[in-house]
Structure 1
Amino acid sequence: MRYTDYINLVLPIFNTRRTREILNVNPVQPTTRIDAPEVRISVYEFNAHEFKEHLFTDINECVQFAHNGQHVHWINIDGIRKADIARVCQEFRVHPLLEEDILSLGQRPKMDEIDDVLFCLLNMLYFNENAGTVEQEQISIALGKHFVISFQEDPSRDVFDPLREKLKIPSSKIRNAGADYVCYTMLDLIVDNYFLVMEKLGDKIEAIEEEVIRNSNTKSLARINRLRKELIVLKRNIAPVRELIHGFIRSESDLLAERTTKYFKDIYDHIVQANDLAENYRDVMINLQDLYVSNVNLKMNEVMKVMAIVTCLMAPATVIGGIFGMNFDRIPYLHHQNGFYIAMSLMVLVPIWMLWIFKKRGWF
């Protein structure tokens, strides 16, 4: 193997780029968000009897729904641009502090209640099968009296397709409910998707556990470390959502109907379970790392035991050879015609006798 091939093989094991991505979070340092190249705006206008879907690419076309109280509006904005966010927040009376949160990067999941708007920010999680990593997308949700506005970064994916399908069904519960129920459904879909990501991670953990038990090597340790990093991402995104959902439950805002609060309690139960499961995964990974170290030590002990046995078996031959190799004139059997064969027999028989003793005592 060439030197460059060896480097290419070893570098992925010790690459710390993913570590820097995970741990490089500094809320004090100002962040510069690059405006999205394109913006896709989906507006869902509905009540118990009507449903309309609008697709726009210009932010000015959706501000007309700011003062329409006859329908419930879900405005989903895919692609973040500073000027567009400012215009939407101005028309829908979203506080400037919330506007800063929408434009932020790497923000901790949170829930705020300012003026007549309930705001929450959290991350949608996806599992990249090819890279084996947990990917996150920040989403901000602003809840008003007759509207819900969601701000997403990636227009190519989200977890809200079941919500879109339910909105098209006239008899669905969401069509007869208010904007607060739409907000609940969105949060419920995001939390439920956490379990899908953890299921993928669970499969990876089971595969590594089997590998460590059967054949531990350096690559196994590297895979354990990589999975532990992904669990850090998972835990950092899931744990604060518990407080976020609890904020909705204890809120006394008029935007939340009493009948909707019990649904948020159901999400709270799910996020507690997800948090406990993430903790269990972390404990399993710690145990796997300890198991790997134990296996390495066991293999080392086996090697040292074999080397010690070989050394002990060679000791009689060394002693006998050393005795008969001394430069004295008179040594027993020095000039005996069978002296060589006697010495060789002792060198063979004594180790065999020692092996029998070792085996009888259970040393190997």
Structure 2
Amino acid sequence: MKAKRYIRYLIPSSLFGTQRTKKIVNVNPTVQTHRQDAKESFLTVYDYNEEGFTEDKLQTVEDSFRFLDNQHISWINVEGLIKADVEKMAAHFGIHPLIAEDILSISQRPKMDEVEGIFYCLLNMLYFNKEHGCVETEQISIVLGNKFIITFQEDPERDVFNPIREKLRMHYSKLRQRGADYLCYSMLDIIVDNYFLVMEGLGEKIEEVEEEVIRNTNTLALAKITQLRKELIILKRNIAPVRDMITSIIRSESELLDERTIKYFKDVYDHIVQAHDLCENYRDVMVSMQDLYINNVNLRMNEVMKVMAIVTCLLAPATVIGGIFGMNFQEIPLLHNHIGFWVAVGAMLLIPVWMLRMFRKRGWF
């Protein structure tokens, strides 16, 4: 397992994450990307009011149509998107075709729309993959109508809504006492709160890389810094628009939003602002870490140059003395004296020793 973890660093494209860069940066909203239909779609309905609660798994999309006007609050959760099924539900529940198009879109910017009595929120659920050290996204669409909510998810195997399901199963929970708008708030709140868990995992990764940069400055550490900065781009791209989305909800005058619920959305706004500030702090840490890496490289280079300069200075007296006695003159002091060789060698040794002492005294090394 450890060998597999480090093999990828032998491939240059994996080392510097160039494929990840293309996935993060190269997003062109003017190009219509076609989503491939999921192999299978799962529909679950949570129908409730103050007195009762039912949870049903539906076999077909048509089975959900009866929950449109049943005087209860209905949450229809669609896991796995199939274009034909989404269009059928949009036609029956009065969802505008533009909203249906956004539901089926890929790599959309988080946003909020209100079209023909339907309140629509699109954002991403974030997950931190500890094995690969990367942030994964899953687009989710929340459609709020009169006494119903429909959520469209890409991945049928994971989401962050289990705490909401548990509260709905509780007889006296606050969620059961309020309307569909409060359920919408609960969904947005738990998605935003999960952002902090993702940033916590990413923060641990940043601490590990920071320690590695301090201990050992090498190309691998630079590659990890680059990868973490790319993950922060994903975080910022998903968190910053959500702040604007929540602001639009608070300012909305939709009849679907109870005035009592607006204060709860303000609480979500406080959380997303805090998440955005934390994301900016992480970005500053990564910039400082990159500067630390560059400073360490320069410091190591300076140390090498200092040693080479000292060695050059120490060899300079021997070079000068050897050059003097190697000149082609007839008369040179001590040239024909039997102790001349030893005087020259002694000078070659004593002068560098004296130079070393002076360098040490001046604090040059």
Q: TM-score over 0.5 for the alignment?
A: yes
Asked if the contact 1:159–1:189 (Cα under 8 Å) also holds between the matched residues in 2, the reply is yes
Map of 1:13 onto structure 2: 15
1:62 to 56, 61, 64: 64
Which whole-Å CA distance do the structure 2 matches of 1:126 and 1:37 have between them? 23
1:230-260 per-position Cα deviation (integer Å, ceiling 9, x unaligned) = 0000000000000111111111111111111
When normalised by structure 2's length, the TM-score is: 0.96
Which whole-Å CA distance do the structure 2 matches of 1:260 and 1:107 have between them? 27
1:54-96 per-position Cα deviation (integer Å, ceiling 9, x unaligned) = 012321111121222x210000000111100001111110111
1:89-136 per-position Cα deviation (integer Å, ceiling 9, x unaligned) = 111101111111101110000001111111000000001111111000
Which whole-Å CA distance do the structure 2 matches of 1:26 and 1:148 have between them? 30
Which whole-Å CA distance do the structure 1 matches of 2:43 and 2:109 have between them? 25
Asked if the contact 2:40–2:80 (Cα under 8 Å) also holds between the matched residues in 1, the reply is yes
Map of 1:119 onto structure 2: 120
Asked if the contact 1:121–1:139 (Cα under 8 Å) also holds between the matched residues in 2, the reply is yes
Are 2:198 and 1:167 equivalent residues in the alignment?
Answer: no
Are 2:241 and 1:240 equivalent residues in the alignment?
Answer: yes
Q: Which amino acid aligns with 2:176?
A: R
Which runs of no fewer than 5 residues in structure 2 stay unpaired? 1-6
Are 2:259 and 1:258 equivalent residues in the alignment?
Answer: yes
Map of 1:304 onto structure 2: 305
Are 2:235 and 1:224 equivalent residues in the alignment?
Answer: no
Q: Which amino acid aligns with 1:28?
A: T
Query: What is the root-mean-square deviation of aligned Cα atoms in Å?
Result: 1.3
Question: Superposed, which structure 2 residues align to 1:306-321 within 5 Å?
Answer: 306-321=307-322
Which whole-Å CA distance do the structure 2 matches of 1:362 and 1:94 have between them? 77
Q: Give 1:265 deviation, angstroms.
A: 0.3
Q: Which amino acid aligns with 2:213?
A: V
Q: Give 1:8 deviation, angstroms.
A: 3.0
Question: Superposed, which structure 2 residues align to 1:74-223 within 5 Å?
Answer: 74-223=75-224
Q: Give 1:355 deviation, angstroms.
A: 0.8
Which whole-Å CA distance do the structure 1 matches of 2:223 and 2:280 have between them? 21
Matched-pair identity in %: 62
2:68 is paired with a residue whose SS is: helix
Which whole-Å CA distance do the structure 2 matches of 1:158 and 1:337 have between them? 93
Which runs of no fewer than 5 residues in structure 1 stay unpaired? none
Are 2:45 and 1:47 equivalent residues in the alignment?
Answer: no
Which whole-Å CA distance do the structure 2 matches of 1:100 and 1:291 have between them? 46
Map of 1:29 onto structure 2: 31
Map of 1:293 onto structure 2: 294
Greater Cα offset, 136-145 or 54-63: 54-63
Which whole-Å CA distance do the structure 1 matches of 2:12 and 2:37 have between them? 37
Q: Which runs of 4+ in 1 moved over 6 A?
A: none
Which whole-Å CA distance do the structure 2 matches of 1:138 and 1:128 have between them? 16
2:119 is paired with a residue whose SS is: strand
Q: Which amino acid aligns with 1:73?
A: S
Asked if the contact 2:8–2:15 (Cα under 8 Å) also holds between the matched residues in 1, the reply is no
Which whole-Å CA distance do the structure 2 matches of 1:152 and 1:120 have between them? 12
Which whole-Å CA distance do the structure 2 matches of 1:310 and 1:8 have between them? 37
Q: Give 1:269 deviation, angstroms.
A: 0.2
Map of 1:279 onto structure 2: 280
1:302 is paired with a residue whose SS is: helix
Q: Which amino acid aligns with 2:282?
A: Y
Q: Give 1:298 deviation, angstroms.
A: 0.8
Which whole-Å CA distance do the structure 2 matches of 1:64 and 1:134 have between them? 38
Q: Give 1:9 deviation, angstroms.
A: 4.8
Asked if the contact 1:39–1:57 (Cα under 8 Å) also holds between the matched residues in 2, the reply is no
Q: Which amino acid aligns with 1:170?
A: H
Q: Give 1:313 deviation, angstroms.
A: 0.3
1:331 is paired with a residue whose SS is: coil
Q: Sort the Cα spacing of 1:6 and 1:118 in 2 relative to 1 into closer, same or farther, 3 A.
A: closer
Q: Which amino acid aligns with 1:213?
A: I
Map of 2:341 onto structure 1: 340
